Each structure stands twice: as C-alpha cells, then as structure tokens.
Amino acid sequence: MTAVINVFLKEGVLDPQGKAAHHALDSLGFDGVSDVRIGKQIIIQLDTNDQSKAEAEAKEMCETLLANTVIEDYTIEIS
C-alpha cells in the first residue's frame, strides 16, 4: 500500500516560508490569497495490503521520525 504523508507546521506556529510565498503572490498581483502554508509530502511504499496495519505503521513513523509534533501536524492517506 502507499502512504501519502503531509507534514505542516501547526496552526499558530508561524510558517516563514509560507509567509514569504504569500508576499510573492501578493506582489505578482494574485489577489484574494488569505493564507499560504508550505509543508512537505512524504510518500512511502508499504509491503502490507492491510489498510489499518498500514495506517498504524505510518502513524508510528510520523510520531517517531517524520514529524516533530512540538511544531508540526501531519495527515496520512493510505491507498
């Protein structure tokens, strides 16, 4: 199965890269942008075909290594 993991800075934690991209979009004339957040996507191929096992494994990977939960949130999509 494939786990697609998105890691972003938590709400309330200032995202300097998102802010810089937001300014750039503003100055290029893209009106109506209220927020930009930049994160990273990690795609993992898992050997298992068991959806819940894959989810549990991906969650453990996030908690252990892939996200720093002091400053980051993550989402997991299994397909």
Partner 1 sequence: MKVAILRFPGTNCEFDTQYAFEKLNHTTELIWHENKALPADIDLVVVPGGFSYGDYLRSGSIARFSPIMKAVKNYANKGGKVLGICNGFQVLTEAGLLPGALKRNNNLHFISKYQNLCVVNSNNAFLNNCEDGEVLNIPIAHADGNYYIDNDGLKEIEANGQILLRYSNEKGEPVVVNGSVTSIAGICNKSKNVFGLMPHPERALESILGSKDGIKMLKGFES
- In angstroms, what is the C-alpha Rg of the chain? 16
Q: Do 42 and 72 meet the contact criterion of CB atoms below 8 Å apart? A: no
3-state secondary structure of 55: helix
62 binds partner 1 (CB under 8 A): no
Q: CB under 8 A: which stretch of 7-15, 23-31, 45-53, 54-62 binds partner 1? A: 7-15
The residue from 3, 5, 58, 66 that contacts partner 1 (CB under 8 A) is 66
Cβ 68 to partner 1 shortest distance, Å: 5
3-state secondary structure of 44: strand
20 binds partner 1 (CB under 8 A): yes
